[in-house]
A and B are shown apart, each in its own frame.
Chain A
């Protein structure tokens, strides 16, 4: 059969698609779009979530009231009632539109359906609900509580106590054992909680039944529970439960008065209150009722229940007064000075802050309020510095200040004996009180401006001249309390901290007490400073100021956790000199202290920061003491640190040239490799392998190729058991060989040839240990290519033979994975392409390898099932066709290597052999075409075979064969199948006479 003459270049050129240059990047615009859209959608989601919370609280907080409404058959839902906040109107009518009012107006217009006062109350309730949960979770404790008869409401049937109130506590004093004699009950906390929840229900029930005085009495008793601090651990939970009851009462009263204001005695609606009602809109009857409530509560004897109930109904002041009840809050704050139990007092302050959140507007509001406020300051002789901004929440500050006097006493140990009796200690008390500081600070910082922040800092941060107490621990001065400083710092925005770093660092320095370890404050300071750097000129001063204190720490854990944060600060703001100093200091501390897991975690984070900051790992490794620090690690932390180092290498994506780095990282990689065992997870294994592979890829010895090869040998030895690594090593060694070739510009001298031989040999040794068959044969082929390029035909031949024998070794169908089949057939096609340039064997003839290949195909038919077989065979056929041309389509670009066209030029026996092989192949192809599993498959195979034949032979030679194949395909494939159509077209183009088809 005559193989047609081909012009490969022309064919390629004629078949290639025409390219068209473009100026637009289609990906570019879509990226910006995504960026624009995503935050928006996120916000929408957040809003939805928020609304959800809102609804939840609504139903919960006002649930009891709704019941009442239903009972009274009032048609409207209390929550739907629309009224506006008096302050909102005031501020928007203000003649001077301050920034606040400007902000306020859109807010009003957005939600006109709900009064600002209600809205505020709901927002506050939602906030509190979230915080409440966190408190409950933080302080869960199980155990029992001894309940004395004083708290008789906890027993199911409250008995009436006829004792006169004034005599009561004298009696308590007189007969300390009376209580003991009286039944003391021991109930579990769970029972306590359940009982309180029932009480909440009972109160609303009593209210609905118009037994309002009874409801009030019950709630006073509930409030009284809070004066019992005998089980401190339970107190926060108790507080949450009791304030739930208080809130219920507050809402009941609010709604009742509101109803009074809107309806006459028979419950008929007179006129609904305007959305933003003021005291002037309220009917006198409602005001009287409201006054009555305040009278009733004012007559409660005990201080604590009086405070709680007054706060519960304080919102009703809005019915009586035009301005927000600042003076009431101020007075109640002062009344709290009379509470001497640190825990009870703290939580009372918390409740006040909460109610003020629900009642008071955040904005420094109307001029009336401010006027009121100024008068208040005068009348109460408050010690306020001139810098005090006009903030209506000033009572929170003075309240907290008052409380701190008490808190100082706690810290000084005044209450130790009582605490011990309750089985607690100072530390526990502080932990229990901390949420109070947290919440109050959050309240203070809500919408605070910079001036206010400066004031907060001055009040709680600086060493104060003692103006209230004469009995402070250090006479005349009160040092800032560290836990307060902590929460202050937590709430300060980073920019503010950055700008006032030096002052703040002084504050932290001066606040040393039990309530919060100083290092925590330094840590927090550091974190804030990392978020926002201080002004350039102070950066170093701040650092020095902090470090002067921190470097004296003896507790390694505390020291290192501060160091951790400040390393980041130094990296951002200072030079390398400071890094070196701090690393030395860290090393000094580590040597002295005991290294535990916590310390290691901090050290690890320090290392991470360094490694991340410097993109060049070798730079980090060259820092003094860095390597020493690395040596401190052990166990899992060491593994994770090493992982981080390796990943920094792979992330930086730069060649590793520095020998120190290479060595250090090699060690790290070795440790990582050794850490893997049969128990390691696949993920772990994959991750580590990937890291090491990337490292090996990046290692570069520049011109020292022999050294590189030695390194590869090392790698192979060290990281045994990692296939991907072997693959990498082989690729690297191939690259070495090619680099060498390039360096000698194509003609090897003896030394380079030996080196290249070494590379190839290295590969030949390494490849067989790779598990995956496809990888192995591909690598062999790659090596063969490299060898041939480097004029080592015998090595190339042996490599190719190795591939064939690898395939030959597959003894059964089951050894080959289904996924590998495609790889194998692709490889075989690729091999065919290579064989075009591969010179024939001088003794075994030009087609020694080709024959071997055909042999394999024959012997191992399962390697190439179905269409793959035709694919491979047509590949081989194409190769033979190429060889039959006068000139090969491509050559090895090395003058030392001859291809078959040169070697067997004019050799008849060569051409004869070629011809006979071609015929065998044609037979094979036609045989394979008939060998399909089903008719559709056969049709496709027929088309494949037809195309292959047409490519290689002239139409007049294979026309009939093609006709038969085409016919066959037509019978088994639908008529308008595109493949069939295009094959037909090809036949027509090539001049095959199509009849009957």
Chain B
């Protein structure tokens, strides 16, 4: 006896108001009596407080309740018998826009389904479950599969999205933390341009030029951070964590040469930037310049925190949109 859920789309991506289509496949060796087959589609936002920002105790006790975005049930078969063999039951389930029914605490009514997102402290997930309900004392058969919600593109005009970019420059003076003296005195200057608003389906583009650097460069990376904030009582607990790091320069690159920045945004780990009262999801880019270890050898023994001093960085907020 096995039950299986097959969605019509291989990539399981649905854009409301798409209709969720698929088949329930029940394989059984002998006759199976049941009291109905029911489909349930559930969308939840699960929030979690990070221990670091609110403290261990609070993190344990002050759990934030999940917010339900969607909950639909559909009986696809009344009670009956299933003969031995393979039974395929097709189904259609419309995904409705909540239309103001769901209220996020401290926020405005939600008018759209949030996109699927898998993060560290915030998770937005949609699950489809099929249950074959069986009699008393008998465990019901069930299968669950995740489906992915993406908002329909087109809310923003494409032309509005693309051109927003920002020029940045990184020098020894823009750094808030202490740098190794040799780096600070030698000086460096890295300039560039990077998109600050980016469509999720397009690569993130930009360019970067090492104009000068007295100390050889070890590596330049562009890191993508998620900044997740969850309301905890009267304040927001904000935590940022790295999603992806992309190296764009390996070693002491030529000065004055334009290095392209080209980052493919990872799916599921990114979604349109959003803020909804109880939580918000933002993204950030960080350009990290690491200087060559050759100089650091002498310092590391003396100073264990020197590693930070080898790094210069610049953070740039990033607005992700579905376009």
Chain A residues close to B by CB (< 8 Å): 164-166, 169-170, 172-176, 227, 265, 285, 288, 294-295, 298-299, 301-304, 306, 331, 334-335, 337-341, 344, 402, 405-406, 409, 468-471
The yes or no answer to B175 lying at the interface (CB within 8 A) is no
Residue of A nearest to B263 (CB): A298
B253 touching A338, Cβ below 8 Å:
yes
Residues of A within 8 A of B203 (CB): 298
A304 touching B218, Cβ below 8 Å:
no
The yes or no answer to B161 lying at the interface (CB within 8 A) is no
Task: Give the CA-CA distance A299 to B267 in the complex, in Å.
Answer: 10
The yes or no answer to B11 lying at the interface (CB within 8 A) is yes
Decide yes or no: A469 and B254 within 8 Å by CB, A169-B219, A303-B249, A338-B220 being known contacts: yes
Residue of A nearest to B201 (CB): A291
A334 touching B247, Cβ below 8 Å:
no
B262 touching A335, Cβ below 8 Å:
yes
Residues of B within 8 A of A468 (CB): 256-258
Decide yes or no: A301 and B251 within 8 Å by CB, A166-B223, A469-B256 being known contacts: no
The yes or no answer to B245 lying at the interface (CB within 8 A) is yes
Q: Which of A173, A405, A471 has the most CB of B within 10 A?
A: A173
Decide yes or no: A471 and B256 within 8 Å by CB, A173-B307, A176-B300, A303-B250 being known contacts: yes
Residue of B nearest to A380 (CB): B260
B250 touching A302, Cβ below 8 Å:
yes
The yes or no answer to B105 lying at the interface (CB within 8 A) is no
B253 touching A174, Cβ below 8 Å:
no
Q: Flag the segment in B60-68, B86-94, B144-152, B290-298 that touches A.
A: B290-298
Decide yes or no: A174 and B306 within 8 Å by CB, A166-B221, A303-B249 being known contacts: yes
Name the interface residues of B214-270: CB closer than 8 Å to any CB of A.
217-221, 223, 242, 244-260, 262-264, 266-267
The yes or no answer to B318 lying at the interface (CB within 8 A) is no
Residues of B within 8 A of A341 (CB): 250-251
Interface residues of B toward A: which range? 35 or more
Decide yes or no: A470 and B256 within 8 Å by CB, A299-B264, A339-B251, A340-B250 being known contacts: yes
Q: What is the CB-to-nearest-CB distance from B289 to chain A, in angstroms, rounded to a whole number?
A: 12
Task: Give the CA-CA distance A979 to B204 in the complex, in Å.
Answer: 104
Residues of A within 8 A of B296 (CB): 173-174, 176
Which one, B219, B264, B297, contacts A298 given CB within 8 A? B264
Residues of B within 8 A of A344 (CB): 250
The yes or no answer to B302 lying at the interface (CB within 8 A) is no
Q: What is the CB-to-nearest-CB distance from B150 to chain A, in angstroms, rounded to a whole number?
A: 14
Residues of A within 8 A of B248 (CB): 303, 335, 338
**Known contacts A298-B203, A299-B264, A337-B257; can you find 13 more A-B pairs with CB under 8 A?**
A165-B245, A169-B219, A170-B310, A174-B296, A174-B307, A175-B300, A295-B267, A301-B221, A306-B246, A337-B258, A341-B251, A344-B250, A468-B258
Task: Give the CA-CA distance A166 to B296 in the complex, in Å.
Answer: 18
Residue of A nearest to B216 (CB): A340
The yes or no answer to B311 lying at the interface (CB within 8 A) is yes
Q: What is the CB-to-nearest-CB distance from B14 to chain A, in angstroms, rounded to a whole number?
A: 14
B264 touching A338, Cβ below 8 Å:
no
Name the interface residues of B285-323: CB closer than 8 Å to any CB of A.
290, 293, 296-297, 300, 306-307, 310-311
Residues of A within 8 A of B245 (CB): 165-166, 301
Residues of A within 8 A of B4 (CB): none
A338 touching B223, Cβ below 8 Å:
no
The yes or no answer to B211 lying at the interface (CB within 8 A) is yes
Q: What is the CB-to-nearest-CB distance from A472 to chain B, in angstroms, rounded to a whole number?
A: 8
Residues of B within 8 A of A170 (CB): 290, 307, 310-311
Task: Give the CA-CA distance A961 to B310 in the complex, in Å.
Answer: 126
Residues of B within 8 A of A166 (CB): 221, 223, 242, 245
- Give 17 CB contacts A-B under 8 Å: A164-B242, A166-B221, A169-B219, A173-B296, A174-B296, A176-B293, A298-B203, A299-B244, A301-B221, A301-B244, A301-B246, A302-B250, A338-B259, A339-B251, A344-B250, A468-B256, A469-B254
The yes or no answer to B137 lying at the interface (CB within 8 A) is no
Task: Give the CA-CA distance A341 to B262 in the complex, in Å.
Answer: 21
Which one, B10, B217, B218, B256, contacts A169 given CB within 8 A? B218
Q: Which of B223, B251, B267, B293 has the most CB of A within 10 A?
A: B251
Task: Give the CA-CA distance A227 to B249 in the complex, in Å.
Answer: 12
What 4 A-B pairs have minimum CB-CB distances, sorted nearest first?
Answer: A340-B251, A298-B264, A470-B256, A173-B293
A469 touching B262, Cβ below 8 Å:
no
Which one, B223, B247, B264, contacts A302 given CB within 8 A? B247
B254 touching A405, Cβ below 8 Å:
yes
Q: What is the CB-to-nearest-CB distance from A372 to chain B, in angstroms, rounded to a whole number?
A: 17
Task: Give the CA-CA distance A172 to B262 in the complex, in Å.
Answer: 25
Main secondary structure of the interface of A (DSSP, over half): helix
Residue of B nearest to A297 (CB): B264
Task: Give the CA-CA distance A288 to B264 in the complex, in Å.
Answer: 15
Task: Give the CA-CA distance A565 to B172 in the complex, in Å.
Answer: 57
Task: Give the CA-CA distance A532 to B249 in the complex, in Å.
Answer: 46
Which one, A227, A295, A301, A337, contacts B264 given CB within 8 A? A295
Which one, B219, B259, B266, B267, contacts A337 given CB within 8 A? B259
Task: Give the CA-CA distance A502 to B3 in the complex, in Å.
Answer: 81
Task: Give the CA-CA distance A302 to B260 in the complex, in Å.
Answer: 15
Between A and B, how many residue pairs show CB distances below 8 Å?
112
Q: What is the CB-to-nearest-CB distance from A97 to chain B, in angstroms, rounded to a whole number?
A: 37
Q: What is the CB-to-nearest-CB distance from A422 to chain B, in angstroms, rounded to a whole number?
A: 14
Which one, B217, B257, B310, contacts A405 given CB within 8 A? B257
Q: What is the CB-to-nearest-CB distance from B114 to chain A, in angstroms, rounded to a whole number?
A: 22
Task: Give the CA-CA distance A298 to B263 in the complex, in Å.
Answer: 7
Q: What is the CB-to-nearest-CB distance from A470 to chain B, in angstroms, rounded to a whole number?
A: 4
Which one, A172, A176, A227, A337, contacts B253 given CB within 8 A? A337
B253 touching A340, Cβ below 8 Å:
yes
B311 touching A335, Cβ below 8 Å:
no
Q: What is the CB-to-nearest-CB distance from A297 to chain B, in angstroms, rounded to a whole number?
A: 8
Which one, A175, A331, A339, A409, contacts B260 given CB within 8 A? A331
A339 touching B223, Cβ below 8 Å:
no
B247 touching A338, Cβ below 8 Å:
yes
Residues of A within 8 A of B256 (CB): 468-471
Which one, B218, B249, B311, contacts A338 given CB within 8 A? B249
Residue of A nearest to B293 (CB): A173
Task: Give the CA-CA distance A164 to B242 in the complex, in Å.
Answer: 10
Residues of B within 8 A of A409 (CB): 254
Q: Which of B203, B247, B262 has the most CB of A within 10 A?
A: B247
Residues of A within 8 A of B266 (CB): 295, 299
Q: What is the CB-to-nearest-CB distance from B225 to chain A, in angstroms, rounded to a whole number?
A: 11
Decide yes or no: A334 and B293 within 8 Å by CB, A166-B223, A298-B264, A341-B250 being known contacts: no
A304 touching B255, Cβ below 8 Å:
no
B11 touching A337, Cβ below 8 Å:
no
Q: What is the CB-to-nearest-CB distance from A821 to chain B, in angstroms, rounded to a whole number?
A: 87
B290 touching A285, Cβ below 8 Å:
no
A471 touching B219, Cβ below 8 Å:
no
Residues of A within 8 A of B263 (CB): 298
Residue of A nearest to B6 (CB): A265
Residues of B within 8 A of A265 (CB): 10
Q: Which of A294, A301, A306, A340 has the most CB of B within 10 A?
A: A340
Decide yes or no: A334 and B259 within 8 Å by CB, A295-B267, A339-B250 being known contacts: yes
Task: Give the CA-CA distance A294 to B260 in the complex, in Å.
Answer: 18
Residue of A nearest to B257 (CB): A337
Which one, B211, B249, B306, B311, contacts A470 given CB within 8 A? B211
A285 touching B250, Cβ below 8 Å:
no
Q: What is the CB-to-nearest-CB distance from A182 to chain B, in angstroms, rounded to a whole number?
A: 16
Residues of B within 8 A of A303 (CB): 247-250
Residues of A within 8 A of B246 (CB): 299, 301, 306
Residues of A within 8 A of B218 (CB): 169, 173
Residues of A within 8 A of B10 (CB): 265, 285, 288
Residues of A within 8 A of B217 (CB): 340
Q: What is the CB-to-nearest-CB distance from A421 to chain B, in angstroms, rounded to a whole number?
A: 11
Which one, B251, B257, B310, contacts A173 given CB within 8 A? B310
Task: Give the CA-CA distance A73 to B264 in the complex, in Å.
Answer: 36
Task: Give the CA-CA distance A577 to B306 in the complex, in Å.
Answer: 75
Q: What is the CB-to-nearest-CB distance from A344 to chain B, in angstroms, rounded to a whole number?
A: 8
